[in-house]
Structure 1
Amino acid sequence: MDRIGAYTWHPATDRWTWNDTMYRLLGYRPGQVRPSRALVVAHKHPADRAQVGNVMAEAAAHALPYSHRHRIVSVAGEVLEVAAIGYVADDGRGSSRGVLFHGYLVHLATLTPHRPSRSAASAGAGVPTVSFEVPRVAGPLWDLDPAREDDRLLGRAVTALARAADLPDAAASHLLGHLANVAALPLVVVADRLLALSLDPDVRVLGDLLTGLAAEVPEPN
């Protein structure tokens, strides 16, 4: 299954669009439900729900890009660790309609809830607790050969993405591949542009990188 959900969100009207992976990550068939802010928040892990709600409120109120890690819970109760990444986009209808966000939900790992042994529960005053096993994170999308110039470029771009979003290299490589697919551009072109943007002193967060990647590239003279 694709690990990258993609979405748009218009806070003023609570209008959302999801790609098929967004539905599947939450346990739905594509198109089975109508996306909404309430539905999105409802699928956040109870321990992370307040934090995510605050991030969404701040982003909507001040048109801020965001990048944060949290857990979601699918319809079947599966717990996934994800990174949510969003940036302000132009909806082509004028600023009076409010801000529009374009975002990604990167599936980092699947967490398996388990209960401690009976002896461990007894040691804790008889109150059972639920913890999580250390997850296994999928490997990188490609095997990079450091002897090849293009592969070195991809490696540097993956590192830049990983640092900007606090992602594991494996997740950053999948995100880079997804960005290239969305843009319908060769992977090395997207990697080269991302690296150029990462050197811009005005680019400080991942949202700035994504905004720059989505901007129109001026035609050469």
Structure 2
Amino acid sequence: MDRNPDTPAPETGGIPPSSGTHHGQEKDPSRRVQRPPEVERALAALEHFKNVITLKSDLIDDWETLDEDTRSWYCAGVLRELFDDGYRDLQERLGEQPQVAGAVGLSSSNPPHYSTLSRQIGKLDENILEQAAQWASDAALHQLLPQGKSPHLLGPNPSKPRFYYEIVDEEWSVEMDEKMRQATRVVGEYLAVNYPTLLAHG
């Protein structure tokens, strides 16, 4: 596997503080760099997956005994579910979004071929990946939308923040992939409109 040499071990999260959001850690607005909304969402979701879901739930029982390569494939699988990507799309995403690739634990300059992604992620339980992606997606909404809880207050499976339902009248019968696309759209639209304000008052 082509791994990013600058990526910390999975236990540390390996994800830089989110910028341009109401939970961002950077105190000097002049040093912040705007990231695309889908990158912000991916980083927040992967952070929750690696630091909370895998350590504070029994969704993946043997996480602490897995090698780094297998953990990276899990992260890649969650990322794929998060955006409903095909394997070619996932390869392109990893190649075009270095911060996301680093959070997964892979090299953006030489991401795995889509056939490798398909083979390795295909070995994992799809139901687990789908469930993890949904939990991680809901946690990311708390970091990216107003009225969300701070990351350290979130359990493995948080409900969506109240503000989300003020924007979207979501029906529980909606399919999982449609919910994921809807969450991506909401985050993108909110950050696109409010990023200057968030930057000024962060």
Larger radius of gyration: 1
TM-score (normalizing by structure 1): 0.27
More relative contact order in 1 or in 2 (CA 8 Å, sep 6+)?
Answer: 2
Structure number with the higher strand fraction is: 1
Structure number with the higher helix fraction is: 2
